[in-house]
Amino acid sequence: MGQFIQLKAADGQQIPAYVAEPAGQPKGGVVVVQEIFGVNSHIRSVADGYAAQGFLAVAPSTFQRVKPGVELGYQPEDMDAGFALKSAVEALPAPGVLQDLQAAIGHAARAGKVGIVGYCWGGLLTWRAACLLDGLAAAVPYYGGGMTTPEEIARRPRVPVMAHFGNQDRWIPLDTVEAFRQAHPEVEVHIYAANHGFNCDQRGSYDAEAAKLARERTLAFFARHLA
């Protein structure tokens, strides 16, 4: 359904992005932010899914600045490689990868109002985007690793946010989710009987029931804020 294009960030860096177009008049744009595994077949299928729902979906490669063309699977060695790449991106001088997300938002805006959704590390980046970037109307982080730390909780979102977490997620302890919820009563927080990565049907942690419910809630949230 989609194809890769080149976006240009504010500093001139070229960033590949997978773009999936809706069949008819778009309902708006959705930026899809990858996990630590690159814009792989799963993330492309997520973007295709949003396009099938009527949105212009844009999935930028958030590893491009440290290593082009990353497409990992979900084996332990892929996890190790993904963590190393994520650490390298997080170590970039500010604004780092946020300017690449800003470029993706700019491209998605040709379809109208723009939402952003991200998974795992992409969930953390989605939270930061909601607090720091321009041009968004809504944000939905899924199990954003690191977004419940005190440093991230201290941020203030500039747009409506819905956040999805799993209560069996060893990367995001429930007490930190509760601290996030207490600090951000304006954020719609949902907790599922599921593990980290529950939305990804290529991972052992996939939970079809949680994924379906979270997707329904996300689509309703976008319908409300991108209309």
Q: Active-site residues: which are they?
A: 120, 169, 196
Query: CA 192 to CA 165: how far, in whole Å?
Result: 6
Write the CB contacts of 53 (distance below 8 Å, at least 6 apart in sequence): 22, 27, 219
Which of these, 28, 1, 8, lies nearest to 135 by C-alpha position?
28
Other CB atoms within a 10 A radius of the CB of residue 119 amount to 30
Query: CA 25 to CA 35: how far, in whole Å?
Result: 29
Which of these, 181, 169, 171, 168, lies nearest to 146 by C-alpha position?
171
Write the CB contacts of 164 (distance below 8 Å, at least 6 apart in sequence): 140, 141, 142, 143, 190, 192, 199, 214, 217, 218
CB 108 within 8 Å of CB 33? no
**Residues forming beta bridges with residue 162, ordered by sequence position:** 188
Other CB atoms within a 10 A radius of the CB of residue 186 amount to 9
